[in-house]
Amino acid sequence: MDEFDNHFRIATTVDPVWGFGFGNEPAQEQQNGVYVLNDDMETVGVLDDLAQGETIYSARFMGERAYLVTFKQVDPLFVIDLSDPTDPTVLGKLKIPGYSNYLHPLDETHLIGIGKDAVVSKDEIAYTLGMKLSLFDVSDVENPIELHSVSIGARGTDSYALQDPKAFLFDAEKELMVLPIYLYEENPVEDPYQGDWPAYGIPSYQGAFVYHVSVEDGFVERGNDVVVFFAVLV
């Protein structure tokens, strides 16, 4: 949610409503929307029925624009025009594997996305893999692109920054980004796929990963401060 120019904007996901019949289909599909309220808390603008059957994983409001990431099998990044509060409009979207839990502006036309990579199995179920860093170029609002991306670790790799944006550090002047990462690496013994789904890796270490981030070069790792795990048996 966000406040801009005396208007309150909020992005929402409405969970599916299941009927009481014998079928397996919901009476109402899961859907998403963006709502704009004036300073009297009256709804003046609505963009609903957005990405039915998917869930909003991240949202970023930047002035007259909003950026949403929804996910079910792939990651649609929506670019939304909010210049007219009474008429929110989708300008463009991009579909790529995985999703972003957190969006952060690099500048006015580029966004950093922090999330998970994903793969779709034969039974059409999406399974998460390791972490994924994306740099989106939204200068052409009708055709946003993923300019750079980096995958980190095997399935199970995680970061607290995916839950709490305060765990994410970005210094725009130095072009440095720092993330706490709990790294899983592929198990050299097991098959990386168990049946139709990818196997989890094995935890190897956790620490602060430091990246130089730029439009030209994307994400360049500068190092990491590793804290090795020790198992304590009681």
* H-helix or E-strand spanning residue 64: none
> What global pTM score does this model have?
0.83
- The per-residue pLDDT for 232 is 32
- The per-residue pLDDT for 234 is 32
Question: Which own/partner pairs from 102-106 qualify as long-range (CB within 8 Å, at least 24 positions apart)?
Answer: 102/58, 102/161, 102/162, 102/165, 102/168, 103/58, 103/59, 103/60, 103/67, 103/69, 104/60, 104/165, 104/168, 104/170, 105/60, 105/62, 106/135, 106/172, 106/213, 106/215
CA atoms of 163 and 27, how far apart (whole Å):
31
Q: Is 96 in contact with 82 (CB distance < 8 Å)? A: no
Per-residue pLDDT of the chain (234 residues; tens, 9 = 90+): 999 999 999 999 988 665 555 555 655 677 899 999 999 999 999 998 888 888 888 999 999 999 999 877 556 899 999 999 999 999 999 988 888 899 999 999 999 999 998 877 656 677 788 999 999 999 999 999 999 999 999 889 999 999 998 999 999 999 999 999 999 998 776 665 555 667 788 888 889 999 999 999 999 999 775 443 333 333
The amino acid at residue 71 is F
